[in-house]
Chains A and B, each alone.
Chain A
Amino acid sequence: MTTLDIRGLRLRLPHTARPVLDGVDLAVGPRETVALVGESGSGKTLTSRTVLRLLPEGAVAEGTVEVAGQDVLTMTAKELRDLRTRTAAMVFQDPRAAINPLRRIGDFLTESVVLNKVLTSAAAEARAVELLEAVGLTSAALRRYPSQVSGGMLQRVMIAGSLMGDPKLLLADEPTTALDVTTQAEVVSLLGDMRERFGTALLFVTHDLGLAAAISDRVSVMYAGRIVESGPAAELFAHPRHPYTKALLDSTPDPDAPPGRLTAIEGQPPDLREELSGCPFAPRCVLATAVCTEQAPQAAPAPGNPAHTAACHHSDRLGTRLEGETVDA
């Protein structure tokens, strides 16, 4: 059974002309790491929060979001609490904001499992110590306040906290952007280690393609609330089948490449207040033709590689033409 299976997720927010998430399909298998990438505002955070049914006020969701076979969108309050305590947990972006500064780190770690009677307080404390050691801290941290430890350490606490209920799925929403560069790498590799050691699946949200390539088995690329391309990480980065993915790759600074190759993507993502017809990326796309503005492309598998899908009318032109250009440059 897939650990996370999102099908046809459509999310509407008040005062918007079109759904902010529009038919999102996303799956994460057991022990698998999937990276969700895309520009700012594409809907990555909303997607990952929907998995825990953390919806903005007034949001209406359609479709199914199954975690370990259970649809999150139709859960009762009790089932939802159970999901959040024991099945899926989120590592948030900014640990300073996410952890109550007035309560001890030990309280943060144990409160959910103790209050939901998953563990006794003694067992919860033992588990907290075990996890603190697993993330490279000591039991002394239990009695500290968040303000007494560094941001990197606090993000380790956050990771330990997410594992308290022994979840099947971890969601990490840009878990390193609030940290300084040196701790970023540590936290990412720690997250990978923890996923391995505790056997969870991981949905990793980032706009850092290098990071996505390094950590994930598969990658899904999001644009304007849709998954435009999805596939095995190595394959997708080597042979992108959507012009948006290609453009993202070209705009990513690559330390190995000579300078001057970086190209920012022209134009802006579409505003939520305007309706969309056809492909949302068409106005910014170098390959766009008449069909792109008339007909929304459906996700289609790459020839010979059904795991690699892209929603583009011109996927087949992309592989040859744009790659040829890069070689010329």
Chain B
Amino acid sequence: MNFLRFAVRRLLEMAVTLLGASFVVFGAMYLAPGNPASFLLGGRSASPAALEAIEKQYHLDDPFFAQYFRWLGNVLQGDFGRSLQYRTDVSELLASRLPTTMLLVGMALLIVVVLGLALGRFGAVRGGAADTTVLVGTTFAIGTPSFVAAILLQGLFAVQLGWFPSSGSGSGEGFGSMVWHLTLPAVALALYLVGLLARVTRSAMLEAMEGEHVAVARSRGVPERHIIRRHVFRNALGPVLTTAGLIVSTLLVCTVLVESAFSVGGIGQLLERAATTKDFPTVQAISLIIIGIFMTVNFVVDLLLPLVDPRITLGARSKA
């Protein structure tokens, strides 16, 4: 299949999936218990007339499909509606918070990729005690929920040692300050995935080492470190790349917990607050964005796989 046809087909698939997702996201909020109108009133009792006015303003009394299609039409034009809680446009809220989350997720991803690959490779290549250490370490990493990691890191490095701030994102104080503020959250966010990626890398490398071509390369005098790089690590990249979708989606989901734990004002924290306060438009917008990012990552992975493994053609799954 040629590249263009593949890309077009996948983009169409993504559009259909996003449409379905938008329906589910909207429907779930519609069915959720709790009435946004009463939230808007902030618990004050209101006259039926006032209530009706609010319902009219937010179109809460329209039939479900009318509400859905109005919302969808606006979303397609980049208008996610107004936040019930913050009384501003959701798109503005997102614009101010998305960079923080992107930086946090980006830092965590960097930690995951660098540490995960390095640890997995280290264990697979060294074997013995080094490998056992990696196995035990990754077991702990995988077993520690990110909010527990957050509390531990906060207690040790922020409260006890005072090396990092215990909360906030440092946004508005420059890039350096943001990185400094987001270091602990990024580590908390990355921990589980470092363990996961190290495990995947390790076992993919151990499997690649069994390949006959590795013994053949050795028989041809290729130096050991090149064998590891060119024939073992290189051949483990395919299985590693297929976990990219899982890694990114886990980062996006866990950022909700971590941002809340560190009071980082990103979209994760925003989602958490919006969900507890029935701020429908905000929840819907963030959910759609997360789904969109996830699908984009999978699309990119599918484009990259044939580059990593020439036996895989675009759109076909690996048989190897």
In the bound assembly, the distance between CA atoms of A52 and B222 in angstroms comes to: 13
Q: Which of A103, A107, A145 has the most CB of B within 10 A?
A: A103
Chain A min CB distance to B143 (Å)? 33
B226 touches A111 (CB 8 A): yes
Supposing A101-B311, A102-B310 touch, asked if A54 and B219 sit within 8 A by C-beta, the answer is: yes
Nearest A residue to B235 via CB reads A102
Chain A minimum-CB-distance residue to B238: A102
Question: What residues on A are CB-neighbors of B213 within 8 Å?
Answer: 97-101
A11 interface residue per 8 A CB criterion: no
**Would you call B223 an interface residue if the criterion is a C-beta within 8 Å of the partner chain's C-beta atoms?**
yes
Whether A84 and B220, one on each chain, are in contact in the complex, defined by CB atoms closer than 8 angstroms, is yes
What is the minimal beta-carbon distance from B211 to any residue of chain A, in angstroms? 7
- Is B92 in the interface zone, CB < 8 Å from A? no
Report Cα–Cα, A161/B222, bound state, in Å: 13
Roughly how many angstroms separate A225 CA and B216 CA in the complex, as a whole number? 23
| Cβ–Cβ contact A112 & B309, under 8 A | no
Is B56 part of the binding interface, using a Cβ–Cβ cutoff of 8 Å? Answer: no
Contact with B along A78-103 (1 / 0, CB 8 A): 00111111000110101001111111
Q: Which residue of the partner chain B has the closest CB to A99?
A: B213
What residues of chain A lie closer than 8 Å to B308, measured between beta carbons? 102
Interface centre among A85, A102, A103, A147 (most CB of B within 10 A): A102
Q: Quick check: B234 and A103 within 8 Å, CB to CB?
A: yes
A16 within 8 A of B: no
A residues 118-172 with Cβ under 8 Å of B?
145, 147-148, 161, 165
A84 to chain B: which residues have CB within 8 Å? Answer: 218-221
Residues in chain A near residue B222, CB distance under 8 A: 111-112, 115-116
Determine if A147 and B220 form an interchain contact, defined as CB atoms under 8 angstroms apart: no
Which of chain B's residues 211-239 have a Cβ closer than 8 Å to chain A?
Answer: 211-213, 215-223, 226, 230-231, 234-235, 238
The size class of the interface chain B forms with chain A is 20 to 34
Residues of B within 8 A of A89 (CB): 220
B49 at the interface (CB under 8 A from A): no
Give the Cβ gap from A59 to chain B, nearest Cβ, in Å: 14
B223 touches A116 (CB 8 A): yes
**B320 located at the interface, meaning its Cβ lies under 8 Å from any Cβ of chain A in the complex:** yes
CB-CB under 8 A for A147 and B310, given A82-B221, A112-B220, A116-B223: yes
A115 in contact with B226 given A94-B212, A100-B213 (CB within 8 Å): yes
- Complex Cα gap A98–B231 (Å): 11
Q: Is the CB of A100 within 8 A of B230?
A: yes
B320 partner residues in chain A, CB cutoff 8 A:
101
When the two chains form the complex, which single residue of A90, A100, A107, A147 contacts B219, counting CB atoms closer than 8 Å?
A90
- Whether B211 contacts A102 by the Cβ 8 Å rule is no
Query: In the bound complex, what is the Cα–Cα distance between A83 and B220 (angstroms)?
Result: 9
A92 x B216 contact (CB < 8 A): yes
Most buried by A among B217, B230, B238, B311: B217
Determine how close the nearest CB of chain B comes to the CB of A53; give it in whole angstroms.
9
Cross-chain contact B310 with A101 (CB below 8 angstroms): yes
Q: Are A85 and B230 in contact (CB under 8 A)?
A: no
The smallest C-beta distance from A135 to any residue of chain B, in angstroms, reads 17
- C-alpha spacing A101/B216, complex, angstroms: 13
Residue from A81, A115, A148 whose CB has the most chain B CB atoms within 10 Å: A115
Contacts of A90 in B (CB 8 A): 216, 219
Residues of the B chain whose Cβ atoms lie less than 8 Å from the Cβ of A116: 221-223
User: Given the complex, which residues of B lie within 8 Å of A145, measured CB to CB?
Assistant: 310-311
Q: A82-B221, A147-B310 are in contact. Are A99 and B216 (CB under 8 A)?
A: yes
Query: What is the distance, in angstroms, from B213's C-beta to the closest C-beta of chain A?
Result: 4
Question: When A and B form their complex, which 8 residue pairs have the shortest distance between CB atoms, in order from nearest?
Answer: A84-B221, A85-B221, A97-B212, A145-B310, A112-B220, A81-B221, A100-B213, A98-B216
Further contacts, 18 of them, CB under 8 A, given A97-B211, A100-B217, A147-B311:
A80-B221, A82-B221, A84-B219, A85-B220, A90-B216, A92-B212, A97-B212, A99-B213, A100-B213, A100-B234, A101-B310, A102-B310, A102-B311, A107-B230, A111-B230, A112-B220, A145-B311, A148-B310
Interface residues of A (CB under 8 A from B): 49, 52, 54, 80-85, 89-90, 92, 94, 97-103, 107, 111-112, 115-116, 145, 147-148, 161, 165
Of the A-B pairs whose beta carbons lie under 8 Å apart in the complex, a sample of 15, sorted by A's number, is A52-B219, A54-B215, A84-B218, A84-B220, A85-B220, A85-B221, A90-B219, A100-B234, A101-B320, A102-B235, A103-B230, A111-B217, A112-B221, A147-B310, A147-B311
